[in-house]
Amino acid sequence: MDTDARRQASDLLYGHWMAGSRIDTVPPAIRPGTRAEGYAIQALLEKRSPSPIAGWKIAATSAAGQAHIAVDGPLAGRILAERLIEPGGRCTLGSSLMRCAELEFAFRMARTLAPRTTSYEIDEVLGAVASLHLAIELPDSRYEVFEKAGAPQLIADNACANWFVIGPPVSAAWREIDLAAHEVTGRISGGAPQPGKGSNVLGDPRLALTWLVNELSAYGIALREGEVVSTGTCVPPMTIAPGDHVHGDFGTLGTIEVTID
């Protein structure tokens, strides 16, 4: 794709995001055909944001999630600073299509991991982490039938990113905890508990973080100091509606919540 095609695709998707409207598909002349083209379109979001990006999200970190949107692996997206909600705050769904909440582990980086030709190993990545955070993602898509858009178009659409709640640093000694085995429980407006665990995130949230570092590195992108990575949902996506209260219980690591207006 040339520069003009990437810009047109970005204009189209961002315009629908801001308007809360949808498209069936990106027109063939400007449609990304590879993951690289999808990321090149996504990268133009950084020029639209008034602030540096807050970090990154990972979509489709479970086999069920990948099957649902017909992709063969996870997808990375940017977290825009203006799409962050304070823990315990309120969010308006507007015309959101997906209308679900996801409970996630997030990591904030203490130092930058630059692109390189060799893969990063998990211990090296964890050594660059400053803190663990609890998070809620409220994703959405700009495609009418996002399940059939395919990986390149979903990546171009920022991997279904929308709103995020990122909690404060976890005070517990999280490095001593097996995050894969750690249980997470969600509740919507005090309803039935919806169980999950860290292993639903690519087998381990720490493995998901390592995947993200290497995915960015492969496309020449650095994971920067201070950026946060929300690693994917520990519980199956929980259906939400206006008026709902989302509560995530991470046991000894704490809780996080948001209210849907």
Instruction: Please tell me the predicted confidence (pLDDT) of residue 202.
Output: 97
Instruction: Please tell me the predicted confidence (pLDDT) of residue 78.
Output: 98
Instruction: Please tell me the predicted confidence (pLDDT) of residue 114.
Output: 98
Round to whole Å and give the CA distance between 197 and 183: 4
Question: Taking Cα atoms as reference points, which of 67, 74, 77, 68 lies closest to residue 43?
Answer: 77
Question: Taking Cα atoms as reference points, which of 69, 5, 72, 80 lies closest to residue 40?
Answer: 5
Instruction: Give the pLDDT means over successive 10-residue stretches in the chain (261 positions).
Output: 97 97 97 98 96 97 92 96 98 94 98 98 98 98 96 98 98 98 98 98 98 98 98 97 98 98 93
Instruction: Please tell me the predicted confidence (pLDDT) of residue 232.
Output: 97
Amino acid at 212: L
Whole-number Cα distances in Å, 181 to 150, 172, 202, 204, 223: 31, 16, 12, 8, 26
Domains of the chain with CATH codes: 51-147+156-260 (3.90.850.10)
- 260 forms beta bridges with 91
The torsion angles phi and psi of 231, rounded to 5 degrees, stand at: -95, -5
Instruction: Please tell me the predicted confidence (pLDDT) of residue 22.
Output: 96
Residues 138 and 164: beta-carbon distance below 8 Å: yes
Looking at 139-224, which runs of residues are DSSP E strands?
A: 163-169, 183-188, 194-197
What pTM value is reported for the model?
A: 0.97
Instruction: Please tell me the predicted confidence (pLDDT) of residue 118.
Output: 98
Residues 74 and 208: beta-carbon distance below 8 Å: yes
Token reading at 214 = 């290497």
- 104 forms beta bridges with 135, 233
Q: What does the buried/exposed string (b/e) look like for 92-113 if buried means 16 or more CB atoms within 10 Å of the residue's CB? A: ebeebbbbbbbbbbbbbbeeeb
Round to whole Å and give the CA distance between 222 and 213: 8
Instruction: Please tell me the predicted confidence (pLDDT) of residue 166.
Output: 98
- Element holding 12 (H helix, E strand): helix 3-19
Three-class SS of residue 133? strand
CA angle 86, 57, 214 (to 5 degrees): 140
